Amino acid sequence: MTNAPVLYAIRDGYAEITLNRPDSLNAFTGEMHAVLRESFERAPAEGARAILVTGAGRGFCAGQDLTERKIPGAGETIDLRIFLRERYNPLIRRMRELPLPIVMAVNGVAAGAGMGFALAGDIVLAARTASFIQAFIKIGLVPDAGSSYWLPRLVGPVRARALAMTGEPLSADDAAGWGLIWKVLDDEKLMPEARELAARLAASPTAAQGLTKQLLNASLDNALAAQLDLERDTQFMAGHTKDYLEGVKAFREKRRPKFEGK
């Protein structure tokens, strides 16, 4: 396996992105961020219609690689806003704005920023032995990489506070039961099912997938009236796609549609 921090491949119409620093549980570095940004830009440019993200080895992502950061001396401080402004925040924004479905296959521990990164995906699958940890508090920091946004909305404020303030691990089974992720799978079934799902999404009407993603993103903050108006407008756009015409035609002809993502 190559020593590149991120692996990238096109499979069955989707891009598979693998965090590839297994010896450090795929902890984030500046180089990894740069390659990840490039990969998320590269996928749609190369015609990928879905993205699958996973980790190499026994971990998904342990968060920030602290060995990369300088330890401040007496009287010194480090401006951590730089890391969020230049690395994490642009990455999370790009993932949520990308008009492609993103499947996250969490194969092991997702801790700290690795957990926020996982939750930024559209559909999150996890191996049964995986776990999710808001590890920030263990080093005196606060949640980032979108964690403070996702957690209250996904599991409610009571559980969000407990996860963030205790730093206790959450099992994959509990994560699924709490509605934090879509599905938990036996370890050996994770990647086959994740790849099947990514291929199925890539063959779907991906223009409508992108509009659906836009709708659901907005619904987190919109009032009902505004959301109804947005549904009206995005349905107008979906109704003018080739895929809509193909879907209706295939339904009438009682055959499987062949969507192009247009």
How many domains does the structure of the chain reveal?
A: 2
**Is 260 a member of any domain?**
no
Q: What percent of the chain has pLDDT over 70?
A: 97
Whether 152 and 216 share a structural domain: no
Q: Mean pLDDT across the stretch 100-118?
A: 97
Q: Mean pLDDT across the stretch 118-140?
A: 96
Whether 176 and 248 share a structural domain: no
φ/ψ of 237, rounded to 5, equals: -65, -40
**Is 262 a member of any domain?**
no
> Nearest 5 degrees, angle CA 99-CA 100-CA 102?
130
**pLDDT at residue 1 in the model:** 55
Whether 211 and 224 share a structural domain: yes
Give the C-alpha separation, 234 to 244, whole Å.
13
**Is 218 a member of any domain?**
yes
pTM: 0.92
Q: What is the pLDDT of residues 12-21, one digit of tens each?
A: 999 999 999 9
CA nearest to 62, candidates 134, 163, 125, 5: 134
- At a CB cut-off of 8 Å and minimum separation 6, what does 250 contact? 256, 257, 258
Give the C-alpha separation, 35 to 194, whole Å.
22
Last residue of a domain, one of 181, 202, 223: 202
Whether 31 and 94 share a structural domain: yes
Whether 190 and 227 share a structural domain: no
